[in-house]
Amino acid sequence: MIKEFLSFVRDHYSSDENDFIPLHAPVFRGNEIKYLTDTIESTFVSSVGAYVDKFEEQMKLLTGAKYAVATVNGTSALHISLHSLGISLGDEVITQALSFVATANAIKYTGAEPLFLDVDRDSMSLSPESVTDYLKNHCDYNNGHIINRKSGRRIKAIIPMHTFGNPGRIEELKEIADDFQLPIIEDAAESLGSFVKEQHTGTFGKLGIFSFNGNKTVTCGGGGAVVTDDENFGKRLKHITTTAKVSHAWEYAHDELGFNYRMPNLNAALACAQLEQLEGFLLEKRNLAGKYIQFFENKDENFKNEIANTRSNYWLNTIEFQNRSARDQFLKETNVAKVMTRPAWNLLSNLPMYQHCISDSLENSKYLADRLVNIPSGVRWKN
């Protein structure tokens, strides 16, 4: 299968065996240079500028959210979302161990602890069943507070992550969260352009965050965004991401703890040009995913397709091997052949700074971590 796969990938990207095929490289073929030049000529290259405002308007239009706040990266977007909800020392936040480290790091920045619960095997995202089981069978309830029986900490929020761009069961998770009066922050860092039915990911929870890192579907080098329908959160987030500075012609007055998290105008210019091309990017990526689905149809490896009632952006196409040994052999041979493939992240619960954190069995998470591989998924740069 590996030789067939290498041939398939090179037919799609480049037939030159000396060319390195990356996992997901950015493609700049729109107004990127024009908008960057405009920004430089305007001299507004930092956090004040027309393109930052334009980017926020584009994000509102794309996601359907009422408010969007531009940030320097997805991690800062997640941190400021947690901060705005009052998450702090002594609290716990439910999330998944199968995620990029930024998800747990942002929780720790507030002084809180992540509580790692299992994912579903098909969506690879936080399992509604796991969340329900933990809240019902491992927690006590005191004056409207949910207390983790094992740690004694108060559970304050839920952060599901849409893994590799594939939407999870966010509707079911929202029902559970509403029943237990827990806010959801959607980690939609990887799922720009992904939908559940007709609703964009990131808009089901109280807050949703996105990333525009160099390897994302749309990139501005480094950048993020928070979206919300809540007016109070929308206004406060913009205020505290600009150091909580009170508007004044010349004086420096700050009325609460603030963060220097606003996206620079240079990055926003790049983001605006990229967002203009998003529809085309998504069409190309869906076409590639369709070819992968056909390629793996009768093979031992399982292509991780979108689940029912969802539309994935297929940010990183993913396959599941029957065992770790087969996975490791595939990783070795493809990378030696200059075709980049990558295993899933090490489970966050295994990292030295999070080994002390509470988790459930993580049965599905462990199973997937041993078997998942991301394969080249970028927009084609050669015909």
CATH topology of domain 2-29+278-374: Aspartate Aminotransferase, domain 1 (3.90.1150)
Identify the CA nearest to 115 among candidates 156, 81, 80, 143: 156
DSSP string of 69-118, one letter each residue = EEESSHHHHHHHHHHHTT--TTEEEEEESSS-HHHHHHHHHTT-EEEEE-
pLDDT higher than threshold 90 for residue 16: no
Indicate if the alpha-carbon torsion angle 187, 189, 192, 194 is positive or negative: negative
pLDDT higher than threshold 90 for residue 219: yes
Identify the CA nearest to 97 among candidates 307, 290, 359, 316: 359
Q: Beta strand pairing status for 154-158 and 91-96? A: parallel
For the segment 207-223, the average pLDDT, to the nearest whole number, is 96
3-state secondary structure of 356: coil
Q: Could you tell me if 278 and 193 are in contact, meaning their C-beta atoms sit under 8 angstroms apart? A: yes
pLDDT higher than threshold 70 for residue 9: yes
Q: Model confidence over 20-56: pLDDT tens digits? A: 999 999 999 999 999 999 999 999 999 889 999 999 9
Residue identified by tokens 């196409």 is 317
| Domain at 32-275: CATH architecture | 3-Layer(aba) Sandwich (3.40)
pLDDT higher than threshold 70 for residue 84: yes
Distance in angstroms between the alpha carbons of the first and the last residue of the chain: 24
Identify the CA nearest to 96 among candidates 175, 219, 190: 190
Percent of the chain surpassing pLDDT 70: 99
Q: Model confidence over 46-83: pLDDT tens digits? A: 988 999 999 999 999 999 999 999 999 999 999 999 99
Question: CA 266, CA 352: separation in Å to the nearest integer?
Answer: 36
- Quote the pLDDT of residue 65: 98
Q: Model confidence over 238-295: pLDDT tens digits? A: 999 999 999 888 999 999 999 999 999 999 999 999 999 999 999 999 999 999 999 9
Q: Model confidence over 134-166: pLDDT tens digits? A: 999 999 999 889 999 999 999 999 999 999 999
Q: Which residues pair with 311 in a beta bridge?
A: 195
Residue identified by tokens 């073929």 is 29
- Quote the pLDDT of residue 382: 53
pLDDT higher than threshold 70 for residue 110: yes
Total Cβ atoms within 10 A of residue 33? 12
Residue 67 has phi, psi (to 5 degrees) of: -135, 145
Q: Model confidence over 352-366: pLDDT tens digits? A: 999 999 999 999 999
Percent of the chain surpassing pLDDT 90: 95
- 326 CB contacts (<8 Å, ≥6 apart)? 300
Identify the H or E element spanning 211: strand 207-211
Q: Could you tell me if 303 and 296 are in contact, meaning their C-beta atoms sit under 8 angstroms apart? A: yes
- The CATH 3.90.1150.10 domain(s) of the chain lie at 2-29+278-374
Question: CA 185, CA 281: separation in Å to the nearest integer?
Answer: 26
- The CATH 3.40.640.10 domain(s) of the chain lie at 32-275
3-state secondary structure of 242: strand
Question: CA 57, CA 73: separation in Å to the nearest integer?
Answer: 18
Identify the CA nearest to 114 among candidates 125, 106, 126, 122: 106
- Quote the pLDDT of residue 383: 45
- Quote the pLDDT of residue 14: 85
- Quote the pLDDT of residue 295: 97
Question: CA 349, CA 356: separation in Å to the nearest integer?
Answer: 8
The secondary structure of residue 184, as a DSSP letter, is B
Please tell me the pTM assigned to this model: 0.96
Average pLDDT, the chain: 96
Identify the band that residue 342 occupies on the pLDDT scale cut at 50, 70 and 90: very high
